[in-house]
Structures are given as structure tokens and as C-alpha cells.
Amino acid sequence: MSAEPSASQPPASEQVGITRLAGDPPSPWEGAFGYSRVVSVGPWVLIGGTTSVDPSGCVVGSTPYEQTVEIFRKLLHELARTGLSAADVVQTRMYVTDISRSEEVGRAHGHVFGSVDSDDSGELREAATPTGPVTSMLEVASLIDPRMLVEIELVAYRT
């Protein structure tokens, strides 16, 4: 059996409806490392690890909170390109280089997904009804650039 599709049969990626998109704008590494920023498979949309780096390679934000806000701005833009929004996100995965600063990252996540809020003192409190996606926050030794403190990937579902 040949691995090549026949003239009458489209490639498997077309059979299941896989769409691959570069980032808008693409990161400096997408082409060099051979990956797509966004992949849609049927109703699922996956957005790969995203940092706060701008198109010229500069890291936006010097704190985990600032970087997380920028990352979610980028992720929401990518979701919008597929016709989805934060309400469609079912999973986030956050990689941080300093878990002792997890509250900063969690606060920015909560602002996007509405599952946490803060009072005037900055103290986090749980919202009455969970509205956010399932999530993981993991500490990693480092990211591709030592100025990067946070990287986030997500999965959304089109209903």
C-alpha cells in the first residue's frame, strides 16, 4: 500500500479538514523550525506555544503579568482569525520560568476567562461560577529566549 494519495483520493489532511495557519504576524521561529501557529482539525482549534515576542524578536513586557497580557492579546487575535473567541477555549497550558510568580500569570488568565477576579488590594478571589477552561501551569527551566518568562498554548472547540 502506497503512502502517497492516489489521484482520486485527497491527502488525509484534506479528508479530515486540517487547516494550518502561520501566526499573524508569524514569530521569528515558525518558518525556521517548521511549525504552524494555528491548526484546525474539524471542530478543534489548537494554538501552539505563544510568547510575548513581537515580529522583530523583541520581548514585550518585563514581568510575568505584562507578558501574559500580551500573550493573551495575541492568542485572542489568532482565535478571531478562525472565527472563535475566549468563550470557545476549553484548555490552556501555561509554562512559566518562575512558579513563585504564578499569581501574576493566573491574574492575567482570570481577566481573560472571568474565572477569577481581584479586589482593590490585588488579592485574587474565585468567581461565583467557573467560566474558564481547564488549565495547567508548569514551571520550566527556561524558554527559547532568557527574557521570556511565560509561554501559553490553548485548545478551543467550535460548536
For residue 51, give the nearest of 152, 156, 159 by alpha carbon: 152
Q: Cell triple for residue 129? A: 461560577
Handedness of CA 131, 26, 93, 107 (dihedral sign): negative
Arithmetic mean of pLDDT, 55-63: 93
Q: Name the domain count of the chain.
A: 1
Cα dist from 71 to 42, 47, 60, 139, whole Å:
25, 12, 9, 17
* C-alpha span between 145 and 27 (Å, rounded): 13
Print the domain residue range for 95.
Answer: 14-157
The 10s digit of each residue's pLDDT in 78-117 is 999 999 999 999 999 999 999 999 999 999 999 999 854 4
In a domain, residue 129? The reply is: yes
In a domain, residue 8? The reply is: no
Angle in degrees, CA 117, 121, 125, rounded to 5 = 30
Q: Is residue 60 helix, strand or coil?
A: coil
Q: What is the CATH number of the domain that holds 27?
A: 3.30.1330.40
Determine the pLDDT at residue 117. 47
Whether the ω angle into residue 28 lies within 30 degrees of 0, i.e. cis, is no
Place of cell 515580529: 55
What is the model's pTM? Answer: 0.81
Q: Cell triple for residue 112? A: 481573560
Count the residues in the chain. Answer: 159
pLDDT higher at 23 or 93: 93
In a domain, residue 2? The reply is: no
pLDDT higher at 15 or 42: 42
Q: Cell triple for residue 20? A: 494550518
In a domain, residue 54? The reply is: yes
pLDDT exceeds 90 at position 131: no
